[in-house]
Amino acid sequence: MKLSYKVSGICIVLLLLANALFVFPSHAKAAKEGYYYTSGNRILDSEGNEAVWNGLNWFGFETSNFAPHGLWTRKLEDMLDQAKQQGYNLIRLPYSNQMFDKGSQANGIDYYKNPSLKNLTPIEIMDYFIEQAGERGFHIILDRHRPSASGQSELWYTDQYSEQRWIDDWVMLAKRYKGNQIVIGADLHNEPHGAASWGTNDPKTDWRLAAQKAGNAILKQNSDWLIIVEGVESNVKGKQGSYWWGGNLMGVEKYPVKLQVDNRLVYSTHDYGPGVHHQSWFNERSFPNNLPALWDKYWGYISKQKLAPVLVGEFGGRSVDKSSLEGKWQHALVQYIQENQLYWTYWSLNPNSGDTGGLLLDDWNTWHKDKQAMLKPIMKQLAESSPGKSGEKPPGNGSSSSASSGNSSNANDRSSVTGAASKMGQVSCLLERAPLDLQEKLSTEKSGSSAAPPTELQTLQVQAQLNSDESKEQDSSIRIGVQLKNTGAEALALEHITIRYWYTSDTEQQVEQQAYVDYAALGNEAVQAKIVALEKARQQADYYIELSFNELAGQLLPNQSTGEIKLRWNKADWSAFTLSNDYSYAKDFKEYREWKRMTVYSQGKLIYGTEPKMK
């Protein structure tokens, strides 16, 4: 009997071992052909050669377009060709879980330029994107950027999209692209922040535990992928300090992520300049020489101690000169990446990133030569090879027509939109995210405006609504949400409508300001925004920001709303606004509410609200 028990015990142990080997088949350090693995702080291919990548972000799938941005004005293949021609071979591709919902439909695509995408679901467009990228020698890192298309979340789950849904979608993608050598990794969740913690062992907030759970679920189905884990903002056990969203990796040294497949873990940080938010370290007298020690503290030590590779998954900014704060920061970070041989994906290809701009200029065609020159020290020489089905295609000429006119150029996660700041007291911003029905508007051959003639002013009935949930009474930027509702019985031609929000600059003289439109449900190319300085100051106002619409906005039908338009603006010197002094400021409007201190005009005539009184 003792012998039989012993034999039975051995059998059970062997069965458990066999099951473990089946679940996680790749404990070996090396990767399969076409894939990558980690060794210390390096990422190597299956033959042990160093990974050679020049990376960028191309967003859009995570938004309500459920497709890469820019396809309203260019052909997908031409944009890939252009990026390849400029020396890039790695794309971090953001998506949202909402993209996989049954009712989600891709929009904002000119199907005359992109006929291969017609009638495809969002995930089928992703399939096609990956296929075309692979044919040009690109690798893809999938980035779960948001749960829903409406915006970034603090944690990896929300009331609408649970932790299990997050994991299930990752497992689905791991299965879908298993054996596809183009897709090489999973960036598990973009920019954990707020309540997100590290090392606290609280299953509701400890991002490290969640990353382990999702990473292991992915590797169980697809052991070839790299698992990319970003940091948090704060709340690191045993550590003090707050950093960029997703950028704080101080907890890794004591509380590392532990995966059940060896040599697949990459840590990722995000780092930005004052164009995104003005942090205290930009004001230190030793700036920018203080930055390397700061980076060492929060995330650089991981690579220096050879704990794991580090991917700088997002960094970018509009200024690339060597005299502005942002320009100095950007050059310093490029030097740090070069000196420490870090991996990187620049934010972003898209020009419609509100606080950073893109590698493409606002016309979606012209490459930003100054940014490319700034990145030159970390651009690696690429071999002529392709991870996809076939060899590289010759670069396209990148020619296309733009759906917008004038200068146009996105947030909370930077997937939002702005125009370039002028050097006067007024800033114009033209949105770049395509309207939902842009494909129909682009396909028409009719000339002139499609909007209806202006309705008689006396019949117009509208309501302006404000959301001030992101506003602080004193801050270096003002953030508001605006909606316009048609409360009348007649359709409203939006191209004749303007909306004003009145505020004070808190300065004695006119000051240069920069405005950004972070989101517009109506469609990015349908809206413009500008900041106007009043010739004579009014009570609680010496400026207003004005929203206007073009013919692409079409008509606003009775009882319909434009949907959310999110605005943000700041002074060029980043000095603070005191919002409590502002005529249109409303405290604690956490949901959209009617607000008559915003004014609405039709053809320049006031039709809603009350303007501030003259002094």
Active site residues: 191, 314
**Residue 277, SS3 per DSSP:** coil
Contact 281/322 with Cβ under 8 angstroms? no
Rounded to a whole number, what is the distance in angstroms from the first to the last CA of the chain? 101
Closest by Cα among 576, 337, 615, 595 to 477 = 576
Q: Which residues of 577-594 are buried (b: 16+ CB within 10 A; e: fewer)?
A: bebeebbbbbeebeebee
Q: Please compute, for residue 441, the number of CA atoms within 13 A of its CA located in the half-sphere on the CB side.
A: 26
Angle at 287 between CA 286 and CA 289, to 5 degrees: 75
Buried/exposed code over 147-185 (b: 16+ C-beta within 10 A; e: otherwise): bbbbbbbbbbbbeebebeebbebbbebbeebeebbbbbb
Q: d(Cα 52, Cα 38) in Å, to the nearest integer?
A: 13
Our separate counts of H helices and E strands in the chain read 10, 26
Q: How far apart are CA 549 and CA 362, in angstroms?
A: 18
Element (H, E) at 12: helix 2-23
Q: Is 11 exposed, middle or buried (0-12, 13-18, 19+ CB in 10 A)?
A: exposed
Tokens for 181, please give them: 């050598």
- Residue with the two structure tokens 């330029």: 113
What would the two tokens of residue 216 be? 């292991």
* Distance of alpha carbon 40 from alpha carbon 91, whole angstroms: 23
The DSSP bridge partners found for residue 11 are: none
Residues 270 and 315: beta-carbon distance below 8 Å: yes
Instruction: Please compute Rg for the chain using Cα positions.
Output: 25
Q: Which amino acid is at 67?
A: A
The residue behind tokens 């051995």 is 10
Angle at the Cα of 465 from the Cα atoms of 463 and 466, rounded to 5 degrees: 160
Element (H, E) at 227: strand 226-230
β-pairing verdict for 265-270 and 226-230: parallel
CB atoms within 10 A of CB 596: 13
Between strands 139-146 and 90-96, the pairing is parallel
> What is the spatial distance between Cα 72 and Cα 60, in angstroms, rounded to a whole number?
12
Q: Per residue in 339-351, is it b (16+ CB within 10 Å) or e — as a string?
A: ebebbbbbbbbbb
Contact 477, 545 (CB under 8 A): no
